[in-house]
Each structure stands twice: as structure tokens, then as C-alpha cells.
């Protein structure tokens, strides 16, 4: 109705530019103080006037030939628009519900990833598996990486609420298995289930934060959660260190009450707010599960899980458990690579109109191949990959450095990682400023973050070489700042590039980061084990207690019991091995620096070019402005405006977004 009224008004303006004898007196439209408070009046050709203001900022269309609608004088700035007030109130309530309901699940997901960082030697020693301690991490990261895209599709098909509740339930089961583990296999099974849960929690929370809101509002909420996530990552090793001093099983027990409380909070606060599934909604019967599963990309999911899983498995085994040329490493590496390539081939053939789309007409691609048509998708995946590499390397190998080289107890080694927190907080705060205030774009924080992370990690290598504890702490803070700078802008950029595919876009971002961290840890683990073993073999005979080999060491106490000279030799070997482990991932950081130069740009708060565009945006909802070509190229050629595209932020499904469809802050939904 309102759009029709505006159309009539524009017709009147065109008439006023070429007045006829029976034309009404031209009326100059003034910009209203609020888009919802546009009063109208009916002008009769006889000159009589009749008020026709409506309560919601819309007007009835008069069909009489002798009447037309023209705008009245807009209200003064002192008048309060009740619609706007209600929108802002609803938005605040919605935001605080999200914070209260998702704070604990998100903290749990980040905490559970790093809480075992300083407990690894103690846990592995308990099961006499010191040389296999990396599997405590690998079992978690393997599943938390491979299942991320699948949970993104589950969130679309079954709804956000059902998916996050299932994720929390898996966390409870996995934590119970780990806490009660009597065998090494039972522990790794529990860690694998925790990883599956982490994949769901991290992905679905980010999807929920992108639902129903504009990029501007999403930037505010995600800023807070990224800061919370950074703190969770950083305090995890500290909490784990103190719990390990008492009993390492407490590292897993702590997750159980947090998951239970999270289930309750989400049900109470968000059960009526979360986006429902496209196939399985509230009130659907259990018999509807199978038809809903029929739309899930099962074949693509299997290819993806086997592809990524076998590649991670091969890199975890290579050089550590088996030689790189052994069949145990080559077989999973080759098969995994083939499955990974076949996954993209299958997704391509599942595109609309292609062969598999005709064979399986109900299936929806898990990661649509069309997403990669825009190059920023690939560049952002590389950026997130390097972010994960930088973050995981610090959380795990700095803790190992202080435990092995400096002989710190687990609790003190965890405390050292707290230096990462102020850097992370500073990085997140700077990202908030760059995205929300100036220049309100994503290009700047992404590239500054890549530069800062690379420099910081390079200086960490030098600090380990010189055993300068103060410099290590300072460079941890610098690396944390670079990581914090890239967290939120990367997800905002992806949503700006693909506003119509939020779930798969966020899934890809959530996958790239832990995948980078997981491969980084396996590479570092291989380099560390090889260097440490070689150095230990060289130092044999230096110990009065006999031969020294890292694969024969069942606990850190073994090293502490060595004579002083032998102990010093082992710790120096550990220092060199950790230093080379960090050097091994520096090329990944360099790649992200180069990638940043080719990335486009997203404007978080786009400004309309003229009044007509402003009117259209007010009618249609939130928008983002994007440059798909390299932003530096557009900047150097001076053609930014010609390359700039406007994307409408669409609703994610036929969900509760209807409750907010009047809000200028939220995604719009077509009215019928």
C-alpha cells in the first residue's frame, strides 16, 4: 500500500513539473524524520482537502478519479514514532535473548577446544601413550572440522533450535565418556563426540547471529561473541592446567553442567525466536524426519567427511607414527584427496538443471558449487584457514614449550597463555571500530589482521630461539590482536557476499578455520616429533640413566628425573623442535598476506546515493554494498562506484522472521 502511494506521489511530481490547467498546486516534499511517520492528505481537484493519515505510516489508495494522494508536511523531529520505538525495543529484547541464550553454548565450544592444551602430557601419561598425545587433539579437531558443513545443512532443514539441542546432547555424552574413560580408545571416542558437538555449536551459533538482522546489527552482536570466544580460547588452557593439578578428568566433567544449563536457557529464551526448518518445523511428527532427511546432501556429506577426515588422518600419521612413504600414510592421503575432489564434482553436478539434480530432485547441496563462482569465497576461506593455523599453534605449542622447555607445571603453563587475551580483546575492539565506525568496511581489518598475525608469529619463533619469556608473552598478545581483527570481519564479509545463502556461507567459514588449525597442528606435530626424536637420539649416552628417546618417554616426570646435563640437553632439543614447528607454518601466514590483496570489500553501513534509492531501501529492507573484484584494483583505477554492487539482505526461510518484518534493523520478508 505504502509503495503504491509513493508511486502515485511520484506521478504527481512529474505532473507538477509540467503543470496543466487542472493540475494541483505543486507541493515540495520534505524528508520525513521517520519513514513510518509519512502523513498523507487527499487533495480534490476542486481545492478541498481531507485528512487521510494512517496509523502505520501507510495510506489507503483512493480510486476516485478526482482524488490524488500528496504528502503533508512531515512531523517535527520532536515527535516520536511509535513504530520505530517498538522496533528498537523488540531489537534490544531479541539481542539480549541471543546473548543470554547463546553465551554459555558458545563459551563451552571454545573452552572445550583448548581446555586440554596443558593437560595433554598428563592425560597421555596416564594411559602410557605419551608419544601419541596429539591424538587427544586430533580426535577432537578431526570431527569438529569434518561435520561443520553437515550441521549447517541440518540447521536449514530441521531448524536452528533442534540442531543446537542435538549438539549439546552430544557434548554431554562425549564429556561423560572422556571423564569416565578407562582405556585410550574410550577417551578418543569421547573426544570425537565432543568434536561433533563443537562443530554443531560453533556453526549454528554463528548462523543464528546472522539470522533476521542486518550486517550492522550482526556486527554488533558478533563482536561481543568473538570477544567471548577469544577469552574462552585463552582461559581454556589455564582452567585445564589448574584442573589437571587436581585430576585431569575434571577437564571433561566441567562441560557437563554447562551443557545442561545451556539446554534449559535455550529452551526458555529462544524456543520461539529461532528460525524453523524448511522441512521439519514445530509440531511436525516424527514421521516427518525421513522426508526431511531426503533433502539432505547425504552423498556429498559422505564424500566430504571421508575426504577431509582421511587427509587429516594421513597428516597426523605422517612422520610421527609412520614414515611419509609408508602405505599407512599414502593410502589415506590419496583416497582422501580423491574423495575431496569428488565432493566438489558431485556438488557441481547437483546444481539446478544438472544430472544429479534431476536424479535427486529433492536434495539440496551442502556447499553449493555456485558459491565458488565469486572469488571472494576462496580468498575468505584461505584467510580463515590461516587464522585457525595461527590460533591453534599458539594455544597448543606455547603450552608445550612452557611445560617441556621451561619445566612449568600445568597450571603455570596455562597462566602464560593468558597473555593472548588482551591481544585478542584489542583485536576484536579494533575490528568493531573498523566495521561499525570507520571505515565501516571489511577490507581494512582483514588485511591489517593478516599482517599483524604474520609478524607476531614470526617474532614468536625468534623469542623461542632466544628463550625470552617476556618477548614470547608480548608476541602472543600481538598474534592474538591479529586473530581478533579477522574473526568478525571474515564472517560479515561472507554474509555480505552471499546474503541469500547464509547457512552454507557460514558453514564454509566455520570449516576453514578449524581445518587450518587441524592441518597446522598435524604439520607442527610431525615436525616436532621428527626434530625432537633426532635430537634425543643424538643425545643418547649423555644420560647416566641410559638411552633417551621421546617415543620411550611415558611421562614428563621421566625428564625431570634425569641428571642435570641430560635434562638440559632434552629441553634444548624440545626448544629447537618447537621453534621449527612454528617455522613450518609461516608459509601459510605468508599466503594469507598475499590473498588479502585480492579480496573485495563489503560496506557494513552503505549510504544511499540519492533520495530515490533511500526510499527504495526503506521499503525493501536491509542492504549491503559489495565489490567482487579486488578492492585494491578498484581503488587504484578509481572505479569503486562502477564496481560496487548492492545486495538485498534476504530472510533465511519461512520462519519467525515474519515477527520482525516491519523492522528497519532486520531482514525483510515479502508480504502477501
User: CB neighbours of 89 closer than 8 A, spacing ≥ 6?
Assistant: none
Euclidean distance between CA atoms 100 and 94, whole angstroms: 10
DSSP string, 145-162: HHTHHHHHHHHHHHBHHH
Euclidean distance between CA atoms 376 and 357, whole angstroms: 26
In the structure, what pLDDT confidence band is assigned to residue 525 with cuts at 50, 70 and 90? confident
Alpha-helical (H) ranges within 350-406 are 355-359, 375-393, 399-404
Helix (H, G, I), strand (E, B) or coil at 330: helix
Sheet holding 623-627, edge to edge: 601-603, 623-627, 644-648
* More reliable by pLDDT, 392 or 664: 392
How do residues 273-291 score in pLDDT, each as one tens digit? 888 888 877 777 777 788 8
What is the reported pLDDT for 400? 83
What is the reported pLDDT for 541? 42
What is the reported pLDDT for 651? 44
Q: Which residues pair with 70 in a beta bridge?
A: 41
* More reliable by pLDDT, 471 or 549: 471
Q: Do the domains 367-595 and 84-280 match in fold?
A: yes
How do residues 595-654 score in pLDDT, each as one tens digit? 988 999 998 766 655 555 555 444 444 566 888 889 999 888 888 888 887 766 544 433
Average confidence (pLDDT) over 341-370: 89
Distances in whole angstroms, Cα of residue 465 to Cα of each of 401, 489, 531, 578:
11, 33, 15, 9
**Position 387 pLDDT exceeds 60:** yes
652: number of Cβ within 10 Å: 25
**Position 303 pLDDT exceeds 90:** yes
**Model pTM above 0.75:** no
What is the reported pLDDT for 187? 93
DSSP state of 267: H
Q: Are 384 and 391 in contact (CB under 8 A)?
A: no
**For 367-595, which CATH class?**
mainly alpha
User: CB neighbours of 62 closer than 8 A, spacing ≥ 6?
Assistant: 42, 52, 68, 69
Euclidean distance between CA atoms 345 and 351, whole angstroms: 10
406: number of Cβ within 10 Å: 16
Q: Are 98 and 393 in contact (CB under 8 A)?
A: no
Domain boundaries, the chain: 84-280, 297-362, 367-595, 601-650
- At the topology level, CATH places domain 84-280 in Growth Hormone; Chain: A; (1.20.1250)
How do residues 198-210 score in pLDDT, each as one tens digit? 989 988 998 888 7
Q: Quote the Cα angle for 482-487-491, to 5°.
A: 145
What is the reported pLDDT for 78? 46
In the structure, what pLDDT confidence band is assigned to residue 589 with cuts at 50, 70 and 90? very high
What is the reported pLDDT for 552? 39
What is the dihedral sign for C-alpha 534, 460, 520, 402? positive
User: Looking at the chain, how many residues does it have?
Assistant: 672
**Position 444 pLDDT exceeds 80:** yes
Alpha-helical (H) ranges within 539-563 are 556-560
Q: Quote the Cα angle for 32-34-37, to 5°.
A: 85
> Which string of b and e fits 454-491 if b means at least 16 CB within 10 Å?
bbbbbbbbebbeeeeeeebbbbbbbbbbbbbbbbbbbb
- Please give, one letter per residue, the 3-state secondary structure of 293-304: HCCCCHHHHHHH
Q: What percent of the chain has pLDDT over 90?
A: 23
**Position 131 pLDDT exceeds 70:** no
Euclidean distance between CA atoms 572 and 380, whole angstroms: 38
What is the dihedral sign for C-alpha 480, 484, 490, 495? positive
Return the minimum-mean-pLDDT range out of 268-282, 348-362, 575-589, 617-631: 617-631
67: phi then psi, degrees, rounded to nearest 5: -130, 145
Return the residue matching grid coordinates 593472548.
420
> Which string of b and e fits 61-97 if b means at least 16 CB within 10 Å?
ebeeeeebbbbbebeeeeeebebbeebeebbeebbeb
Average confidence (pLDDT) over 284-313: 85
Amino acid at each position: 500500500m505504502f509503495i503504491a502511494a509513493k508511486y502515485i506521489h511520484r506521478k504527481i511530481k512529474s505532473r507538477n513539473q509540467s503543470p496543466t490547467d487542472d493540475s494541483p498546486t505543486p507541493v515540495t516534499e520534505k524528508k520525513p524524520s521517520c519513514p513510518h511517520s509519512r502523513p498523507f492528505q487527499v487533495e480534490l481537484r476542486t481545492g478541498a482537502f481531507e485528512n487521510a493519515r494512517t496509523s502505520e505510516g501507510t495510506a489507503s489508495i483512493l480510486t476516485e478519479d478526482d482524488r490524488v494522494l500528496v504528502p503533508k508536511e512531515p512531523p517535527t523531529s520532536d515527535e516520536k514514532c511509535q513504530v520505530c520505538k517498538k522496533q528498537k525495543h523488540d531489537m534490544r529484547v531479541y539481542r539480549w535473548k541471543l546473548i543470554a541464550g547463546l553465551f554459555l553454548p558458545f563459551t563451552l565450544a571454545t573452552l572445550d577446544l583448548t581446555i586440554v592444551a596443558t593437560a595433554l602430557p598428563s592425560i597421555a601419561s596416564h594411559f602410557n601413550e605419551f608419544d601419541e598425545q596429539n591424538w587427544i587433539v586430533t580426535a577432537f579437531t578431526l570431527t569438529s572440522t569434518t561435520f561443520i558443513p553437515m550441521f549447517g545443512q541440518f540447521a536449514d532443514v530441521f531448524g536452528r533450535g533442534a540442531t543446537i539441542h542435538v549438539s549439546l546432547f552430544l557434548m554431554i555424552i562425549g564429556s561423560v565418556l572422556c571423564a569416565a574413560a578407562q582405556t585410550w580408545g574410550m577417551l578418543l571416542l569421547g573426544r570425537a563426540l565432543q568434536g561433533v558437538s563443537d562443530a554443531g555449536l560453533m556453526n549454528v551459533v554463528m548462523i543464528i547471529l546472522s539470522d533476521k538482522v542486518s550486517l550492522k546489527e550482526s556486527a554488533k552482536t558478533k563482536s561481543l561473541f568473538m570477544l567471548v570466544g577469544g577469552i574462552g580460547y585463552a582461559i581454556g588452557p589455564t582452567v585445564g592446567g589448574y584442573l589437571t593439578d587436581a585430576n585431569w578428568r575434571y577437564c571433561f566433567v566441567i562441560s557437563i553442567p554447562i551443557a545442561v544449563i545451556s539446554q534449559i536457557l535455550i529452551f526458555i529464551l529462544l524456543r520461539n525466536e529461532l528460525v524453523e526448518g524448511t522441512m521439519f518445523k514445530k509440531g511436525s511428527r516424527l514421521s516427518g524426519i525421513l522426508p526431511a532427511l531426503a533433502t539432505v546432501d547425504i552423498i556429498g556429506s559422505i564424500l566430504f567427511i571421508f575426504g577431509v577426515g582421511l587427509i587429516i588422518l594421513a597428516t597426523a600419521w605422517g612422520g610421527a607414527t609412520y614414515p611419509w612413504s609408508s602405505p599407512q600414510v599414502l593410502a589415506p592421503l590419496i583416497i582422501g584427496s580423491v574423495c575431496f575432489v569428488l565432493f566438489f564434482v558431485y556438488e557441481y553436478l547437483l546444481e539446478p538443471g544438472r544430472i544429479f539434480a534431476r536424479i535427486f530432485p529433492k536434495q539440496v547441496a551442502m556447499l553449493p558449487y555456485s558459491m565458488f563462482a565469486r572469488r571472494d569465497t576462496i580468498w575468505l576461506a584461505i584467510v580463515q584457514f590461516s587464522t585457525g593455523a595461527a590460533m591453534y599453534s599458539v594455544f597448543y605449542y606455547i603450552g608445550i614449550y612452557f611445560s617441556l622447555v621451561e619445566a612449568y607445571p600445568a597450571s603455570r603453563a596455562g597462566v602464560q597463555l593468558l597473555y593472548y587475551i588482551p591481544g585478542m580483546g584489542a583485536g576484536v575492539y579494533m575490528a568493531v571500530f573498523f566495521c561499525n565506525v570507520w571505515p565501516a568496511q571489511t577490507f581494512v581489518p582483514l588485511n591489517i589482521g593478516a599482517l599483524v598475525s604474520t609478524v607476531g608469529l614470526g617474532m614468536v619463533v625468534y623469542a623461542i630461539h632466544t628463550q625470552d619469556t617476556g618477548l614470547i608473552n608480548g608476541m602472543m598478545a600481538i598474534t592474538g590482536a591479529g586473530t581478533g581483527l579477522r574473526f568478525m570481519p571474515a564472517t560479515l564479509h561472507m554474509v555480505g557476499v552471499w546474503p541469500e545463502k547464509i547457512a552454507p556461507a557460514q558453514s564454509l567459514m566455520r570449516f576453514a578455520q578449524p581445518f587450518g588449525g587441524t592441518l597446522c597442528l598435524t604439520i607442527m606435530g610431525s615436525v616436532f616429533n621428527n626434530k625432537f626424536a633426532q635430537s634425543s637420539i643424538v643425545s643418547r649416552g649423555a644420560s647416566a640413566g641410559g638411552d633417551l628417546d621421546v617415543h620411550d618417554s611415558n611421562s614428563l616426570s621421566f625428564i625431570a628425573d634425569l641428571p642435570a646435563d641430560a635434562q638440559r640437553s632434552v629441553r634444548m632439543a624440545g626448544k629447537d623442535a618447537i621453534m621449527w614447528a612454528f617455522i613450518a607454518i609461516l608459509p601459510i601466514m605468508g599466503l594469507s598476506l598475499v590473498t588479502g590483496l585480492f579480496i573485495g570489500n563489503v560496506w557494513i553501513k552503505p549510504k544511499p546515493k540519492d533520495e530515490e534509492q533511500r526510499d527504495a531501501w526503506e521499503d525493501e529492507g536491509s542492504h549491503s554494498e559489495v565489490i567482487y573484484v579486488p578492492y585494491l584494483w578498484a581503488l587504484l583505477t578509481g572505479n569503486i562506484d562502477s564496481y560496487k554492487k548492492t545486495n538485498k539482505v534476504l530472510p533465511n526461510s519461512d520462519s519467525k522472521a515474519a515477527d520482525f518484518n516491519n523492522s528497519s534493523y532486520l531482514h525483510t520478508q515479502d508480504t502477501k
